[in-house]
Amino acid sequence: MLNLTDMQTVRSLANRHHFSFSKGLGQNFLIDPAVCPAIAEYGIPDETCAALEVGPGFGVLTQQLALHAKKVVSVEIDRRLEPVLAETLKELPNAAILWGDVLKLDLQTLFAQQFGEMPVAFCANLPYYITSPILMYLLESDVSFVSMTVMVQKEAAERLCAEVGTRAAGAVTVAVQLRGKAEYLMDVPRESFYPAPNVDSAVIRITPHATPLCAPEEIAPLLKMVKAGFAQRRKTAMNALSSGLGCSKAVLADAFGACGLAENIRFEQLDMPTLLALSRAISDRS
């Protein structure tokens, strides 16, 4: 198996296949030998589990996933990588590539065709330009993952894993943590990639809640409220929601009172149970 953490091997592959790295597609490939085995170990509970990966690049993480999982399916948008991956994955019959945009995937069909009854873990070094859209697409889909272990920008990792109800949290924190537990696993410095990006990274894991925190129909109004609340952080929660949701102050005062909230509280101070209670209280009164 080609060692894709060896710089000479990576350069030689790129040269032989006339491959130039695309900044637009977030092509910063891992060259740190410790990181991919760690992602595979964190992400794949045992060898009965399958893995779905987005963006194999030259296949450095795909190789490790194939060594740990029963089967790996990797979705890649850049067809220029076809001859490279044919070479780097040729000794791994349990690894398959699907060509296309992950955000256009029909995940239910993919799961039925590729994984059957196997439990599936999602593992990826995500292209940073679409980190949140990919995570939300996967979390909102009808398929279920054992866990999602992903490399993201360090700042995004901190925000995704922040405690809801603290300053570090944002709308995306709530959107993700509504659906799963988010853990910050490890820092990965920029030198661990080729070409090196201008930012540091981190690996996080999202594990879907065994019991959903709310009913499916409660998610949309809650996220609408969360977007409105975080859009104007400097205002009080009541003022932010009044202008963001177009809701009268009287209705909001009543809802805040029902939840035992002070009228001058800021939105970022509301923890997850309070957000759920407040969203229900507003819906009941609108």
Give kind and range of the element (H or E) at residue 96: strand 95-99
Of the ranges 95-103, 207-215, 229-237, 271-279, which one interacts with ligand SAM (CB under 6 A)? 95-103
Query: Residue 75 interacts with ligand SAM (CB under 6 A)?
Result: yes
Q: Given the complex with ligand SAM, which of 5 and 177 has the nearer CB atom? A: 5
Query: Residue 57 interacts with ligand SAM (CB under 6 A)?
Result: yes
Query: Residue 253 interacts with ligand SAM (CB under 6 A)?
Result: no
Neighbours of 62 (CB within 10 A): 30
Distance from C-alpha of 230 to C-alpha of 157, rounded to nearest angstrom:
18
Q: Given the complex with ligand SAM, which of 57 and 229 has the nearer CB atom? A: 57
Query: Residue 98 interacts with ligand SAM (CB under 6 A)?
Result: no
Minimum CB separation of residue 141 from ligand SAM in Å reads: 15
Q: Given the complex with ligand SAM, which of 89 and 226 has the nearer CB atom? A: 89
Minimum CB separation of residue 123 from ligand SAM in Å reads: 9
Phi, psi of 124 (to 5 degrees): -165, 150
Distance from C-alpha of 244 to C-alpha of 242, rounded to nearest angstrom:
6
208 pairs with which residues across the strands? 180
Distance from C-alpha of 63 to C-alpha of 279, rounded to nearest angstrom:
45
Of the ranges 42-50, 98-106, 210-218, 263-271, which one interacts with ligand SAM (CB under 6 A)? 98-106
Query: Helix 35-43 crosses helix 60-68 at what angle (to 10 degrees)?
Result: 40
Among 68, 76, 88, 149, binds ligand SAM (CB under 6 A): 76
Query: Residue 43 interacts with ligand SAM (CB under 6 A)?
Result: no
Distance from C-alpha of 110 to C-alpha of 90, rounded to nearest angstrom:
22
Among 28, 131, 173, 242, binds ligand SAM (CB under 6 A): 28
Of 150, 138, 118, which is closest to residue 43 (Cα–Cα)?
A: 150
Neighbours of 116 (CB within 10 A): 9
Among 102, 171, 188, 272, binds ligand SAM (CB under 6 A): 102
Burial class (CB in 10 A: 0-12, 13-18, 19+), 144: exposed
Among 10, 44, 52, 60, binds ligand SAM (CB under 6 A): 60
Query: Residue 78 interacts with ligand SAM (CB under 6 A)?
Result: yes
Minimum CB separation of residue 95 from ligand SAM in Å reads: 12
Query: Residue 200 interacts with ligand SAM (CB under 6 A)?
Result: no
User: Cβ neighbours of residue 113 under 8 Å, at least 6 residues apart?
Assistant: none
Site for ligand SAM, rule CB under 6 A: 25-30, 54-57, 60-61, 75-78, 101-103, 125, 127, 130
